[in-house]
A and B are shown apart, each in its own frame.
Chain A
């Protein structure tokens, strides 16, 4: 933590960045995001095992970008989100400085994005163990049972879109659910509307999801919607042999074509 604060102060004092996006302890004891523009306030920065929110979501927000160059405290999922955002031209590498945090909580010094890429390449990139277990349990169900599981979960959905808003890869200023000419999916939160929303969201994140789990954590009613996108992480891996967010130049598997792509999923 000490190193993190020192590093943040250095970046702010030397005007290398205008803002540091990190974590602080809120008044109720919960950990929450903080935006530090004054190096004297950098002492409130913390990092511990509770700091799991995917802060990369702020890198595309207008009011945060307004500050200028952004420094961000980044765990592996945040680093990978940054890679996706750069490769999708949502973030310019010149506009961000990454204060990496290793799996053991050590501060990592990345000279540039390429160095960060080498770090990512050495990491375990699959879904987290807990979600792997949950997915394995779900995948043992037959089609009908799976459908029932999700129908029951989606019946709780209120379409508050906290799942979407907290995912760095859902950066669209006008989401497909907000288009009404034509209206792609029903606006209302009913069985059909909820199901269509979740299929749409999952498909838009197929091959782009970096397994941070933020969407599921954000859901106020406890729908494990991250399992849908994480399932597609496995699918993208098994069909195309790639994980998202490992390079600043890759394009997402579903928007590119290679002659040797497996096509067995086409019915």
Chain B
């Protein structure tokens, strides 16, 4: 494994999970192999920032009395990256993001980053009460979004499945690092299915005015934690920042949970209170996206519920919504 890791990082940046001293796991660029974790449950932040960084420069500009000009970002400078050890919910989330960023107009920043990305997935050997991938059509050993998938075996080895052409290229690059699979037993987490997402989508169709939203969101404080840790949340803000006559335009993560998210210039806010914002979050993922993007907007990673300071547990609420 160490050899494969070394081989992959020879000519590319590698983005792998590391456990910090406070026990929180997060992905870092080019960590030492000895620090990379294989048994982590979930990283605090998702891996969406490889393709949708928290800040993305869109262009630079100069604007003085005598001239104005715009300089594009050189997309070819976006580096090749190997994402190492991402769990199936996170890899599946790239498809969800693609359905948003490449829906009608292809977002060239996102598309380029995705093109330059190779994903070494890692099937889950553990899960917790917040995981609900199996309720949204994913499983702890799903291959979606991975180029190759590693799956832990009882003897401590990893079974490797080659999924895509990019994955095949890895195998062909260093065939001597792989040996044939001897049918050793696999260790895959079990995640209980908690609801039927098709039923949730169906029931949401006429639940817009349901008192459920107010009753179940009074405790939400309206932060951006759930959206920022979420692997599929894609909302962003666009800002200009200049020093003197030179500046740049960038986009940065935004969240529908914030009070000012939909505030109009007129002063009117169509989502005035938190219950409307919470409804938007659930509706967007489980009703609007299946309808318009033909994809659910949630991969069941459970991060939002682990991160929420007031225990807004999305799976718990979806269980109720399924039969509302």
Contact = CB atoms under 8 A, between A and B. Distances in A.
A38 to B, nearest CB: 11
B225 A33 contact: no
Interface string B45-57: 1000000001100
A118 interface: no
B45 A158 contact: yes
A189 B222 contact: no
A53 B275 CA distance: 21
Interface in B233-265: 237, 239, 241, 250, 252-253, 255, 258-260
Given A178-B260, A187-B252, A161 B219 contact: no
A151 to B, nearest CB: 15
A158 B253 contact: yes
B255 A57 contact: no
Contacts of B259: 173
A161 B224 contact: yes
A57 B305 CA distance: 20
Nearest to B316: A27
B313 interface: yes
Contacts of A30: 311
Interface residues of B, number: 41
Contact of B225 (A28, A58, A62, A160): A160
Interface in A57-78: 57-58, 61-64
B221 A62 contact: no
B130 A28 contact: yes
A190 B225 contact: no
B22 interface: yes
Contact of A162 (B130, B218, B223, B239): B223
Interface in A140-181: 156, 158-162, 164-166, 173-174, 178, 180
Interface in B206-237: 214, 218-219, 221-225, 227-229, 237
Contact of A161 (B45, B130, B258, B313): B258
B274 A61 contact: yes
A64 B309 contact: no
Given A28-B129, A63-B274, A187-B239, A160 B311 contact: no
Contacts, number: 113
Given A28-B311, A63-B273, A222 B22 contact: yes
Contacts of B228: 158-160, 220
Contacts of A27: 313, 316
Contacts of B223: 160-162, 164-166, 218
Interface residues of A, number: 41
A62 B130 CA distance: 30
A61 to B, nearest CB: 7
Interface in A182-224: 183, 186-190, 214, 217-218, 220-222
A241 interface: no
Nearest to B55: A188
Contacts of B214: 63
Nearest to A33: B219
B192 interface: no
A200 B6 CA distance: 43
A186 B247 CA distance: 12
Nearest to A55: B219
A165 B252 contact: no
Contacts of B44: 220-222
Contacts of A156: 26
Given A35-B219, A61-B274, A162-B225, A189 B54 contact: yes
A34 interface: yes
B221 A57 contact: yes
Contacts of B224: 158-162
A162 B250 CA distance: 23
Contacts of A178: 260
A166 B274 CA distance: 14
A148 B248 CA distance: 28
B307 interface: yes
A26 interface: yes
A158 B310 contact: no
A188 B241 contact: yes
Nearest to B312: A32
A34 B215 CA distance: 10
B106 interface: no
A30 B308 CA distance: 11
A66 to B, nearest CB: 9
B165 to A, nearest CB: 34
A189 B252 contact: yes
B168 interface: no
Interface of B: 22, 24, 26, 44-45, 54-55, 129-130, 214, 218-219, 221-225, 227-229, 237, 239, 241, 250, 252-253, 255, 258-260, 272-275, 305, 307, 309-311, 313, 316
6 contacts: A27-B313, A27-B316, A28-B130, A33-B219, A159-B228, A220-B229
Interface of A: 26-28, 30-35, 53, 57-58, 61-64, 156, 158-162, 164-166, 173-174, 178, 180, 183, 186-190, 214, 217-218, 220-222
